[in-house]
Amino acid sequence: MKKFLVVPLMMMMYTGYAQTTDAQLRQNREYTGAVAKQKQYHAIYQLDKNDPKVIQKAIRNINNALNDPRLKGKLQIELVAFSAGTDAYLKGNEYEEALKALVGRGVIVAQCQNTLEERKIPKEQLYDFIALVPSGNGELIIRQAEGWSVVKP
């Protein structure tokens, strides 16, 4: 008996879905994204892994946001590293030019002081253009409370 009720019910659900699918697909296809109505947008990117794919993704994501025509001239970004993410800021790695380019585009590139102390990394091992904040987590908390979007690539 249950089988006889389930099949017609499923057919009714599918039929109702099929009737709206074309309109929904058309509406979705025509969507061009949210409109940036605010004067200013803020995002802080969290970098806490030393995985090259994650570091490259963070840099790529930041550049993509900076290149979004809706956000031109309206976007302030900070990249804060702590924990294993600190490795992206150590001298001699492959990220120096990409990080300098971000700074050149107005991005704040910052390092957690707590991580340096915990890992016994002297500041001199970091690129000389890296800013220091007392704690990465504190930075995220403050920025989020100020209305910044927190992004973890």
pLDDT of amino acid 118: 98
- Does residue 97 sit within a domain? yes
- Does residue 6 sit within a domain? no
72: nearest Cα among 112, 106, 115: 106
Q: Give the SS3 label for residue 60.
A: helix
- Does residue 26 sit within a domain? no
- Does residue 35 sit within a domain? no
142: nearest Cα among 110, 117, 104, 119: 110
Query: In angstroms, rounded to a whole number, what is the distance separating the alpha carbons of residues 65 and 1?
Result: 56
Domain that holds residue 51: 41-151
pLDDT of amino acid 14: 58
- Does residue 140 sit within a domain? yes
- Does residue 9 sit within a domain? no
Polymer length of the chain: 153
Write down the pTM of the prediction: 0.84
Q: Give the SS3 label for residue 44.
A: strand
- Does residue 56 sit within a domain? yes
Tokens of 150: 């927190």
Q: Mean pLDDT of residues grouped by 10 in the chain (153 residues)?
A: 58 59 94 97 98 98 98 98 98 98 98 98 98 98 98 96
> Total domain count for the chain?
1
- Does residue 5 sit within a domain? no
At CA 45, angle to CA 142 and CA 94, rounded to 5?
A: 135
CATH number at residue 99: 3.40.1260.10
> In sequence order, which residues have a C-beta less than 8 Å from that of residue 133 and are 6 or more positions away?
80, 110, 111, 112, 113, 139
